[in-house]
Structure 1
Amino acid sequence: MIAVGRIFRIQQELDCVALYFDRFESFSSTQVTSQVGLSYDSRISRLQWTDFAEAIPKLCCKTLADIPLIDDSAYVRELLQHAVMDDLLGPANGPNELIKDMSVRDRYLVGKLAPRETLDEGNDWGNSAVDEAEDVVPDDLEVKAKPAPPTAGKRTKGGEQPKDDEALGKGEPETSDEIDVSKNQSLVPSSFGITFCVDGEAERIEVEARWGRYERIHDHGITKTRKNKNKKTGKEEEIEVKVWQRIPCGGKMVLDLKQGPVSRRSPD
């Protein structure tokens, strides 16, 4: 049995790599790979593309363009689910990915948890997620002063319009103070829960939790060309980009199903 497929996506996990195809066909052939000029020394080998393309018609009497697209609705939905989760939740480039030239919150829109309280307030889980405010707090969380209501039509005793900023409705100047996400529970969730059912005869359950922690790294050597030219030299300059390294976390633990409170435990 021989199968020919085209890889559509590569899903990287901690303990395996899954390959998903968009074109695939298996067939029986009396030919063996060595008879059509293909040879390899292991289960996974890299072949010259021209040799591979010339050998396929000899093996299955079809060209690569004739290999059909996979027409399985359940499989296509699975591919769509993986694509959406990678784009919104991540990690799109594997458990040890690097996010370059953008913040993690801009790359992924869901799945973000903030520490419930800061380390100084007694949090024994650490607070590395808010080490650098410029990379953690979104711009739209900046506190801005509300403008005072306009006073159109209001005149002073002398008949002139008031000229102070407050009277003109400009309000107080904007402030650059930022909200500390670790202290504002209405903006970023700090925990989540799950409800589920088990068989009444079950005596214990195994819980597995996986997540990632992103840390800013500096010694990476990744640069980009600044679009705006240097004002002094008049030339474009290379600047170092911000890079975040994902550190995989998580693990498994067994919980006994018995009456009483559950002690606080961590899978990692």
Structure 2
Amino acid sequence: MDKTLSIDPAVPLLKVGYSKPANGCINRLQWTHFAETIPKLCGKTLADIPLIKDSAYVRELLQYAVMDDLRGPANGPNELIKDMSVRDRYLVGKLAPRETLDEGNDWGNSAVDEAEDVVPDDLEVKAKPAPPTAGKRTKAGEQPKDEEALGKGEPETSDEIDVSKNQSLVPSSFGMTFCVDGEAERIEVEARWGRYERLHDHGITKTRKKKNKKTGKEEEIEVKVWQRIPCGGKMVLDLKQGP
């Protein structure tokens, strides 16, 4: 990120063995291929390209690199996350399903058991039982009998979730507040995100560290892979009274 060079005259990508990505998607180049291509593009090696003297520009690139690593997608909009969970790969910017699926969903589970999928308890959005009412004592093993002490769980008449009682480590929703000019009649909203789905037929393997007990040889096993599916779009909202 610390070097830049303008190429003049321009060189067609096809001349150096590249083709334009389909549908405008961003593709990551292999570093060795990129380094071998530089002399064909500009007649210089990477070592000959001068360093950027604009420190603010370098800091901005570093900021984007950190954001990609913490929030993603680090490997482009259609990335694959291999041999680890999405929750382990990224620290921020994640939303979990409000309710876990019946057939099991290890979206946020670490790859502890490679043989089967485990649904982590901390992804279940549920109410936290309230502590026993002050002044009342219960015997060991007994539960307080009044409703307040037991906790009432989620309200049946609303889809709203009480975030103060949400025990999930990964939130299921987020909100934002903003202001617009009072004369504005409408606003255009654009939202972009990615949905990660478990990819089963991928053929990506790794060598198991523990040897097979019967044969004594190391095994090739399939790793867990998550496919990112880009989502989002634009919509125009009229600014008028009402929901």
- Contact 1:224 1:240 (C-alpha < 8 Å) held by counterparts: yes
Of the candidates 201, 205, 223, which is equivalent to residue 219 of structure 1?
201
Query: Is 2:43 the partner of 1:56?
Result: yes
When residues 227 and 199 of structure 1 are mapped into structure 2, their CA distance, relative to the original with a 3 A threshold, is same
Query: Is 2:15 the partner of 1:45?
Result: yes
Give the RMSD, CA atoms, in angstroms. Answer: 3.3
Query: Is 2:123 the partner of 1:181?
Result: yes
For 2:15, what is the secondary structure of its paired residue?
A: coil
Q: Deviation of residue 200 (structure 1)?
A: 2.2
Which structure has greater strand proportion?
Answer: 1
Superposition map of 1:66-81 within 5 A: 66-81=48-63
Q: Which residue of 1 aligns with 2:87?
A: 105
Q: Which residue of 1 aligns with 2:75?
A: 93
Query: Where does structure 1 differ by over 6 angstroms across 4 or more consecutive aligned residues?
Result: none
Q: Deviation of residue 186 (structure 1)?
A: 2.8
Partners in 2 of 1:104 and 1:54 — Cα distance? 37
Higher alpha-carbon Rg: 1
Q: Which residue of 2 aligns with 1:208?
A: 190
Q: Deviation of residue 115 (structure 1)?
A: 2.9
When residues 86 and 131 of structure 1 are mapped into structure 2, their CA distance, relative to the original with a 3 A threshold, is farther
Partners in 2 of 1:177 and 1:101 — Cα distance? 17
> If the length of structure 2 is used for normalisation, what is the TM-score?
0.63
Of the candidates 62, 76, 83, which is equivalent to residue 65 of structure 2?
83
For 1:84, what is the secondary structure of its paired residue?
A: helix
* Count of aligned positions: 180
For 1:23, what is the secondary structure of its paired residue?
A: coil
For 2:202, what is the secondary structure of its paired residue?
A: coil
- Contact 1:98 1:243 (C-alpha < 8 Å) held by counterparts: yes
5+ residue gaps, structure 1, are: 1-7, 9-21, 34-39, 58-62, 119-126, 140-175, 262-268
When residues 64 and 220 of structure 1 are mapped into structure 2, their CA distance, relative to the original with a 3 A threshold, is closer
Larger CA deviation: 179-188 vs 227-236:
179-188
Q: Deviation of residue 254 (structure 1)?
A: 0.6
- Contact 2:122 2:167 (C-alpha < 8 Å) held by counterparts: no
5+ residue gaps, structure 2, are: 18-32, 112-117, 127-165
Partners in 2 of 1:96 and 1:111 — Cα distance? 17
For 2:47, what is the secondary structure of its paired residue?
A: helix
Partners in 2 of 1:186 and 1:204 — Cα distance? 38
